[in-house]
């Protein structure tokens, strides 16, 4: 979340500052080896620079890369198909990058007379019927951390109880969440332009598309802007698998909470997504959204809406993001099971305009059990935001059984980076004593 910037310590700048290298523009064309056709609207990540773009309608894509880079590693996602491939540069004006994708995977289709868009509209309309609308408690596991210039920092793990205070409405279910702390642990905390406002599990819960429909990607008024197709790479079964593309804008807010700013930057990104819908009930089982920077979008810097206040020493530009929400059927109602989110922004020096930071914020939450009740002691401790930055007593034995899997990055990579700042268990103890 972005509001203000505090100065970093000299050691942190030394460890995480970006070096300067000569840059060049790489222009690529994604080609299907099966029939030599171009592959449109692929989400492409270049591992060497940790940047993501969306190919255009004829398969073209562009990256800014170090001039000396000769071997490139691409992660490509297109219509439900994912792969990693190597490309050796040819230094042509436009370089062909080859990928084998079945042509059938890219075609529009209709199933049993229903259009993909029609099914999605029906699934949205069925939300009040399909999902739990009576208030409940979710005993859960939560994690957040950052990757700053390729170094993982600022890990927070917690075991919150989430109170979903629900109200059933005609066209949806409204949720107000509150949070009680059970266990917490934190690594050493470093300020940076993306975390001064103290991101919280409360912010992640607002990304639940079922209970916060209006700001989600499945809001009815947004669906008319999308292109839908059935993902025929999946065998017909108990679910509809539907992909969508929105070329005009994205619902991704990447930590920006001010609606004036999010509306002003609405067209900064493209959006692709995949919706898995239960055939019998038309309940959303999984909602996945990916957003990548629109290369043709230019921020109105004169407005200073994307500057970090109050000092305005830095401004940010969106890079890429991903959101995944998964739901589980318990008896006859669907409940939120997991919610995962990652977004990356680039931060520039306001005076010179050079890139200083690439910062990814990562959030992972899992519901471990649900209940209609909790203890009287816990009821006194619910707050609108989890007190995940306060003092705590580190319970090493408890955390030795932590089984929340890392989704976006490998656990070893995260903890290896944290260890560069000292013994991680000692960090957990120290942070509990001082709070933040």
Question: Residues 264-274: pLDDT tens digits?
Answer: 888 999 999 99
User: pLDDT: is 153 or 194 the higher one?
Assistant: 153
Average predicted confidence (pLDDT) for the chain: 87
Q: How confident is the model at residue 40 (pLDDT cuts 50, 70, 90)?
A: confident
Say yes or no: 319 and 349 in one domain.
Answer: yes
Say yes or no: 212 and 280 in one domain.
Answer: yes
Say yes or no: 32 and 98 in one domain.
Answer: yes
Say yes or no: 58 and 134 in one domain.
Answer: no
State how beta strands 284-293 and 71-78 pair.
Answer: unpaired
Q: Which of 106, 136, 165 represents a domain boundary (last residue)?
A: 106
pLDDT at 33: 84
**Structural domain includes residue 279:** yes
**Structural domain includes residue 4:** no
338 with 324: CB under 8 angstroms? Answer: yes
**Structural domain includes residue 14:** no
Residues ≥6 apart with Cβ < 8 Å to 414: 145, 152, 155, 406
**Structural domain includes residue 298:** yes
Least confident of 20-29, 182-191, 389-398: 20-29
Least confident of 80-94, 217-231, 332-346, 352-366: 80-94
> Rounded CA gap, 153 and 61, in Å?
31
pLDDT at 397: 95
**Structural domain includes residue 409:** yes
**Structural domain includes residue 111:** no
Task: Please determine, for residue 245, whether its predicted confidence score (pLDDT) is greater than 60.
Answer: yes
Task: Select, from the ranges 197-201, 311-315, 319-323, the one with the highest average predicted confidence (pLDDT).
Answer: 319-323
Say yes or no: 314 and 211 in one domain.
Answer: yes
Task: Domain count for the chain, please give it.
Answer: 2
Q: pTM of the entire structure?
A: 0.79
Q: Average pLDDT, stretch 252-273?
A: 87
Q: Average pLDDT, stretch 144-170?
A: 96
**Structural domain includes residue 271:** yes
Task: Please determine, for residue 293, whether its predicted confidence score (pLDDT) is greater than 80.
Answer: yes
> Rounded CA gap, 68 and 385, in Å?
47
pLDDT at 2: 59
Supply 102's token pair.
């079945």
Say yes or no: 196 and 136 in one domain.
Answer: yes
Task: Please determine, for residue 346, whether its predicted confidence score (pLDDT) is greater than 60.
Answer: yes
> Rounded CA gap, 79 and 84, in Å?
15
φ/ψ of residue 105, rounded to 5: -70, -15
φ/ψ of residue 288, rounded to 5: -120, 135
CATH of the domain at 55: 2.60.40.10
Q: Which of 65, 87, 106 represents a domain boundary (last residue)?
A: 106
Task: Please determine, for residue 241, whether its predicted confidence score (pLDDT) is greater than 60.
Answer: yes
Q: Average pLDDT, stretch 213-241?
A: 88
Q: Which of 106, 133, 164 represents a domain boundary (last residue)?
A: 106
Least confident of 44-48, 102-106, 172-176, 248-252: 102-106
pLDDT at 107: 44
The half-sphere exposure of 172 on its side-chain side, counting CA atoms within 13 A, is 16
Say yes or no: 219 and 349 in one domain.
Answer: yes
CA distances in angstroms from 36 to 13, 95, 98, 222, 409, listed in the order given: 47, 14, 9, 34, 34
Supply 99's token pair.
């990928």
Say yes or no: 293 and 323 in one domain.
Answer: yes
pLDDT at 28: 95
pLDDT at 1: 62
Say yes or no: 91 and 189 in one domain.
Answer: no
Say yes or no: 273 and 300 in one domain.
Answer: yes
Say yes or no: 234 and 361 in one domain.
Answer: yes
Chain centroid, CA 180 distance in Å: 24
φ/ψ of residue 212, rounded to 5: -130, 60
The half-sphere exposure of 311 on its side-chain side, counting CA atoms within 13 A, is 11
> Rounded CA gap, 244 and 231, in Å?
10
**Structural domain includes residue 370:** yes
pLDDT at 21: 55
Q: Average pLDDT, stretch 182-202?
A: 90
Say yes or no: 129 and 156 in one domain.
Answer: yes
For residue 82, give its domain range.
21-106
């Amino acid at each position: 979340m972005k509001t203000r910037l505090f100065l970093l310590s000299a050691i942190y700048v030394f460890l995480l500052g970006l070096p300067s290298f000569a840059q060049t523009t790489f222009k690529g064309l994604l080609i299907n080896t099966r029939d030599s056709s171009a592959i449109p609207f692929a989400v492409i990540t270049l591992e060497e620079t940790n940047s993501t773009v969306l190919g255009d309608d004829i398969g073209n894509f562009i990256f800014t890369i170090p001039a000396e880079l000769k071997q490139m590693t691409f992660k490509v996602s297109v219509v439900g198909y994912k792969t990693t491939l190597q490309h050796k540069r040819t230094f042509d004006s436009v370089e062909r990058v080859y990928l084998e994708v079945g042509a059938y995977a890219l075609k529009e289709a209709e199933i049993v007379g229903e259009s993909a868009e029609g099914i999605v509209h029906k699934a949205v309309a069925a939300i009040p019927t399909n999902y739990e609308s009576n208030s409940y408690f979710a005993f859960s596991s939560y994690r957040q951390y950052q990757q700053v210039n390729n170094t993982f920092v600022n890990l927070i793990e917690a075991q919150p109880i989430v109170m979903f205070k629900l109200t059933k409405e005609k066209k949806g279910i409204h949720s107000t969440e509150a949070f009680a702390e059970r266990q917490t642990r934190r690594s050493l905390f470093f300020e940076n332009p993306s975390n001064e406002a103290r991101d919280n599990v409360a912010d992640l819960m607002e990304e639940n598309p079922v209970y916060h429909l209006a700001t989600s990607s499945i809001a009815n008024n947004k669906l008319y802007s999308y292109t839908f197709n059935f993902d025929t790479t999946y065998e017909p079964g108990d679910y509809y698998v539907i992909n969508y593309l929105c070329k005009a804008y994205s619902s991704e807010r990447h930590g920006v909470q001010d609606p004036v700013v999010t509306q002003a930057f609405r067209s900064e990104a493209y959006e692709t997504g995949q919706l898995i819908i239960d055939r019998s009930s038309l309940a959303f089982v999984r909602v996945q959204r990916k957003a990548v920077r629109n290369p043709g979008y230019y921020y109105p810097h004169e407005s200073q809406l994307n500057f970090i206040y109050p000092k305005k020493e830095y401004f940010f530009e969106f890079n890429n993001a991903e959101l995944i929400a998964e739901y589980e059927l318990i008896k006859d109602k669907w409940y939120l099971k997991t919610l995962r989110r990652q977004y990356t922004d680039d931060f520039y020096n306001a005076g010179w305009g050079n890139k200083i930071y690439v910062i990814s914020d990562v959030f992972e939450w899992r519901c471990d059990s649900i209940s209609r009740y909790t203890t009287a002691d816990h009821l006194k401790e619910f707050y609108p935001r989890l007190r995940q930055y306060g003092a705590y007593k580190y319970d090493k034995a408890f955390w030795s059984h932590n089984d929340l899997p890392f989704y976006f990055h490998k656990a070893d990579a995260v903890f290896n980076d944290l260890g560069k700042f000292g013994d991680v268990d000692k960090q957990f103890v120290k942070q509990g004593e001082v709070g933040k």
